[in-house]
Amino acid sequence: MPVAALAWVLLALPAVHGLGPWVVWVVMAAAMTLPTVLPGARRVALNGLWRWRGRAVALFAVAHLAVWAAVGVVAVPAGELVRGAVGPYAPAVVTGSLLLAAAWEITPAKRRALRAGHRTAVVPPAGRAAVAGLVREGARHGGRCVGSCGVLMAGLAVAGHGALLIMLPLTGIVVVQKLARRGTEYAGTAAVVLVGTAALAAI
Amino acid sequence: MATFLRRDVWNLDDEGGVWHPVVRAYADAVGVMKQRSAVDRDDPTGWSYQASVHALPPGTPADAFQNQCQHGSWFFLPWHRIYLHWFEEIVRDIVRTELPNVSQQVRDTWALPYWDYSRGGQNERWRRLPRAFRTPTKVDGSPNPLFTSRRNTRPGLNMNAGAPLLDRLVSTRALDQRVFAISPLPGQPNGFGGPVTGWHHDPGPAGSLELTPHGDVHTNVGGPGGLMATFPNAPLDAVFWLHHANIDRLWVVWLNQDDVQRRNPTDTGWRNFPFPFRDATGTRVTPPWSPRSVLDTVSDLGYTYEVVDRFPTGREAVTRMSAQPPDKPELDAPPELVGATSEPVQLTGRRAAVSVDVGEATGPAARGGPGDPDQQVYLQIDDVRGAENPGVTYAVFVNLPDGSDPDDDPDQYYVGNVSLFGIEATQDLGRDVHGGAGLSFAFDITDVARDQQAAGRWDPSQLTVTFVPIGGTDPDETLPPVTIGRVGVYYR
């Protein structure tokens, strides 16, 4: 959570935006998705050796974030391409991508990805096998997070990464769905919030 | 309110033979319920609908009352008590109004019988499926609604042939637990009634009673592909209801024990949690019942059981009374992992063993190991996965010598069962499940560790955990595989 909070602070600093769009993408992914890592991180910590618990949480979270960073390698240039074609902020394109995300929220594929992301397997207790296991489970968590929230994040890639006002409701959706016991029940609410955000983006 | 008496089905058999009037009335009423479902599958008082209240196959659309069974949860016992009550009311209504050949006494007093498979200790008779359930036809030659061929036919466990459930499957060691529910933590057993959860329609870490005898009876009566072995199909076998009446009775028995005071949870999150149900007419129960509505079977629901005391027989007489974790364990002192396997182990119906390297505790459990009188030792079996219930239960032994008969000196090595009821649902992404990637089981092995240490058999640096299929298996038979992700040892 402190890392996610720090990421939000960094996003508000103009200097960070000078480091390039991919860095901003990674910081944005940290701000929005690291809170969702908490249950899995708690599980690997409590199920691991005491002396490994710090490493366990770090490896799990870094592997999760690495998946989003890898996605950014494709998503950021794609977003840049779109903005290059239609201008730095094209309301119609942003609105369209958010409406697409709203539609994705109510699909069975979204529900499956979200549910899969709630499950974290135990890993070996120590050594290379533990490192491999923690990285595997963190990456799996990140991959399922991309499956669940990727369409939603695509809207941000198109909007540009300084779109803090759009990030806030989207972060709310991501966090509630991942942390609530029956997160899939909020699919309709998430879709409505996304439609509302799309309307704001159009303005 | 009249008090109905739920009776032991084997006592009914003793008194009136296979077709004691109470059992015959049950069979005829089940026939009526099946007929209702044949006419209208959505009839809420029909057989299929009542089963669907428990669970539906993945992907099947459900109304607000279906797919509601509570497992791996402190709601397991109260939810099933409510479920049985409304089922019993439907059957009682049929007995009273639709069965022509029922005596007035049965009409006035009919109550759901229970199957007490645990009562006899070493006596096999009670552990056999009651005779009326394994007879294909009734006295008049018509099909018997209580019979199904979809039961265990494995060697030595052929239920319809009258094979007895083996005593480890029906052990009532769960009654030793002193607390009802525990906030779940890795390594720690979950009390008598199950872990503290929200609404929980999935398998998961479960209370002792839910695992054994509940889950083991499901698995071994059903067998591979059998009705009793899965969540959606289990209530379609008429013996399900007698099995759950016995589980409900064991809750009463647990509370009645006087060695240590046992009590139900007092948390409002448990007592007031509402569950949607339809009553015997199919009408929504308003306001919805919660555990608080059904705590006393006599004053709240109007029934009692023929026997509500524990049978101290056979293996049960020597049951250990392990130290129990506190009701609300301190989160700053969770059980600490001190060793675990690195590779998964696959079970296919044969004996299998794994070795666990154990280190010293360096965190909250850093004390003196099993020799420390306050040290508790737990064994956790994690991420147990399989596409289907193999129809077998595995007994778990610690440091069982290679090649030895697990029954030679069982209390030296035996720690509990890996109960696989519901395993197929662990892979179902049709529901929200938080936590692990499969079933998990935690055993308090403190006393086994101390006994082995006293006998010079305990190696503090290594533990061997052996899984033995209960009842044995045909050497030519390969059962559906079950994979155990990890075996871990915890100190506290």
Residue B367: exposure state from Cβ atoms within 10 A (0-12, 13-18, ≥19)? middle
Query: Given pLDDT bands bounded at 50, 70 and 90, which one contains residue A108?
Result: confident
Query: Given pLDDT bands bounded at 50, 70 and 90, which one contains residue B314?
Result: very low
Using the predicted structure, report yes or no on whether residue A87 has a pLDDT greater than 80: no
* Closest-CA residue of chain A to B341: A124
| pLDDT tens figures, B345-382 | 999 989 999 999 999 888 888 865 566 777 899 999 99
CA distance B56 to B65: 11
**What's the pLDDT score for residue A171?**
86
**What's the pLDDT score for residue B449?**
93
Name the interface residues of A facing B (CB cutoff 8 Å).
Answer: 39, 43, 46-51, 111-112, 114-116, 118-125, 127, 129, 181-185
Residue B175 CA to its chain's centroid (Å): 13
Neighbours of B137 (CB within 10 A): 10
| pLDDT tens figures, B111-153 | 999 999 998 766 789 999 999 999 999 999 999 999 999 999 9
CB-CB under 8 Å, B431 with A51: no
Q: List helix spans (H) across B125-273.
A: 208-209, 216-222, 239-256, 268-271
Strand B181-182 relative to strand B194-195: parallel, antiparallel, unpaired? parallel
Q: Which of A37, A44, A46, A52 to mutate to test the interface with B (most CBs of B within 10 A)?
A: A46
Query: Given pLDDT bands bounded at 50, 70 and 90, which one contains residue A191?
Result: confident
Cβ-proximal residues to B420 (8 Å cutoff; 6+ apart), any chain: B215, B219, B384, B386, B389, B390, B392, B393, B394, B439, B482
| pLDDT tens figures, B188-212 | 899 999 999 888 877 778 999 999 9
DSSP annotation of B173 = G
Q: Which of B432, B463, B491, B492 to mutate to test the interface with A (most CBs of A within 10 A)?
A: B432
Closest Cβ–Cβ partner in A47, A124, A185 for B342: A124
| pLDDT tens figures, B154-164 | 888 899 999 99
Average pLDDT over residues A48-65: 94
Q: Which of B124, B142, B187 is nearest to B34 (CA)?
A: B142
Alpha-carbon dihedral angle through residues B226, B170, B485, B427, given to the nearest 10 degrees: 30
Q: Which of A119, A134, A182, A186 to mutate to test the interface with B (most CBs of B within 10 A)?
A: A119
SS3 state at A1: coil
CA distance B403 to B406: 9
Using the predicted structure, report yes or no on whether residue B329 has a pLDDT greater than 70: no
CB distance B442 to B182 below 8 Å? no
Closest Cβ–Cβ partner in A119, A124, A185 for B433: A119
CB distance B321 to B23 below 8 Å? no
Contacts of A48 in chain B (CB under 8 A): 337
Q: What is the CA radius of gyration of chain A?
A: 17
Query: Given pLDDT bands bounded at 50, 70 and 90, which one contains residue A173?
Result: confident
Strand partners, B5: B304
Length of chain A: 203
State which H helix or E strand residue B21 sits in: helix B21-39
Helices and strands of chain B, counted as H and E runs: 11, 13
Name the interface residues of B facing A (CB cutoff 8 Å).
Answer: 185-186, 198-199, 334, 336-343, 359, 361-364, 382-383, 429-438, 485-486, 488
Using the predicted structure, report yes or no on whether residue B215 has a pLDDT greater than 70: yes
| pLDDT tens figures, B302-313 | 999 999 987 654
**What's the pLDDT score for residue B238?**
98
Cα dist. B272→B123, B179, B299 in Å?
Answer: 41, 19, 18
Average pLDDT over residues B52-60: 91
**What's the pLDDT score for residue B319?**
42
Write down the ipTM of this complex.
0.81
Using the predicted structure, report yes or no on whether residue B436 has a pLDDT greater than 70: no
Q: What angle do CA B88, B59, B223 make, to 5 degrees?
A: 60
Contacts of A46 in chain B (CB under 8 A): 185-186, 334
Cβ-proximal residues to B146 (8 Å cutoff; 6+ apart), any chain: B23, B26, B27, B30, B132, B133, B135, B238, B239
Q: What is the CA radius of gyration of chain B?
A: 22
**What's the pLDDT score for residue B332?**
55
**What's the pLDDT score for residue A180?**
75
CB-CB under 8 Å, A122 with B340: yes
> Which amino acid type is present at position A191?
A
Average pLDDT over residues B309-337: 56
CB-CB under 8 Å, A122 with B435: no
Please, what is the average pLDDT of chain B? Answer: 90
Structure tokens at B223: 């067998």
CA distance A53 to A58: 9
Structure tokens at B350: 């044969």
Average pLDDT over residues B22-42: 97
**What's the pLDDT score for residue A149?**
87
Query: Given pLDDT bands bounded at 50, 70 and 90, which one contains residue B253?
Result: very high
> Which amino acid type is present at position B151?
R
CB-CB under 8 Å, A118 with B432: yes
* Closest-CA residue of chain A to B335: A46
Query: Given pLDDT bands bounded at 50, 70 and 90, which one contains residue B82?
Result: very high
CB-CB under 8 Å, B429 with A181: no
**pLDDT: is A44 or A118 the higher one?**
A44
CB-CB under 8 Å, A46 with B340: no
**What's the pLDDT score for residue B333?**
76
Q: Which of A47, A107, A179, A181 to mutate to test the interface with B (most CBs of B within 10 A)?
A: A47
**What's the pLDDT score for residue B382?**
93
pTM: 0.89
**What's the pLDDT score for residue B433?**
58
Strand partners, B468: B395
Instruction: Give the largest CA-CA distance in chain A.
Output: 54
Closest Cβ–Cβ partner in B337, B338, B431 for A115: B431
Instruction: Give the largest CA-CA distance in chain B.
Output: 72
Query: Given pLDDT bands bounded at 50, 70 and 90, which one contains residue B29?
Result: very high
CB-CB under 8 Å, B198 with A47: no
Cα dist. B426→B56, B231, B234 in Å?
Answer: 15, 11, 17
> Which amino acid type is present at position B86?
W
**What's the pLDDT score for residue B364?**
83
Question: In this structure, is the dihedral angle defined by the CA atoms of residues B167, B169, B173 and B175, taken in order, positive or negative?
Answer: negative
Using the predicted structure, report yes or no on whether residue A187 has a pLDDT greater than 90: no
Chains A–B, number of C-beta pairs less than 8 Å apart: 81
